[in-house]
Chain A
Amino acid sequence: GEDVEQSLFLSVREGDSSVINCTYTDSSSTYLYWYKQEPGAGLQLLTYIFSNMDMKQDQRLTVLLNKKDKHLSLRIADTQTGDSAIYFCAGSSGGSYIPTFGRGTSLIVHP
Chain B
Amino acid sequence: DAGVIQSPRHEVTEMGQEVTLRCKPISGHDYLFWYRQTMMRGLELLIYFNNNVPIDDSGMPEDRFSAKMPNASFSTLKIQPSEPRDSAVYFCASSNRNRGEAFFGQGTRLTVV
Interface residue ranges, A against B (CB under 8 Å): 30-31, 33, 35, 41-45, 48, 88, 90, 92, 96-104
Contacts and interface: CB of A to CB of B under 8 A. Distances in A.
A99 B101 CA distance: 7
B85 interface: no
B91 interface: yes
B42 A31 contact: no
Nearest to A98: B48
Interface of B: 4, 31, 33, 42-43, 45, 48, 56, 91, 93, 95-97, 99-107
Nearest to B33: A98
A68 to B, nearest CB: 23
Nearest to A47: B101
A61 to B, nearest CB: 15
Contact of A104 (B43, B48, B104, B105): B43
Given A42-B104, A44-B104, A97 B97 contact: yes
A96 B102 CA distance: 13
A25 B100 CA distance: 18
Given A98-B48, A101-B42, A42 B107 contact: yes
A104 B42 contact: yes
B101 A42 contact: no
Contacts of B33: 98
Contacts of B96: 97
B46 to A, nearest CB: 12
Contact of A45 (B42, B43, B45, B101): B101
- Between A31, A35, A43, A102, the greatest number of chain B beta carbons within 10 A of the residue's beta carbon is seen for A43
Contacts of A103: 42-43
Given A31-B99, A90-B102, A104-B42, 18 more contacts: A30-B100, A33-B101, A35-B104, A41-B107, A42-B91, A42-B93, A42-B107, A43-B102, A45-B101, A45-B102, A48-B99, A97-B97, A98-B33, A99-B100, A99-B102, A101-B43, A103-B42, A104-B43
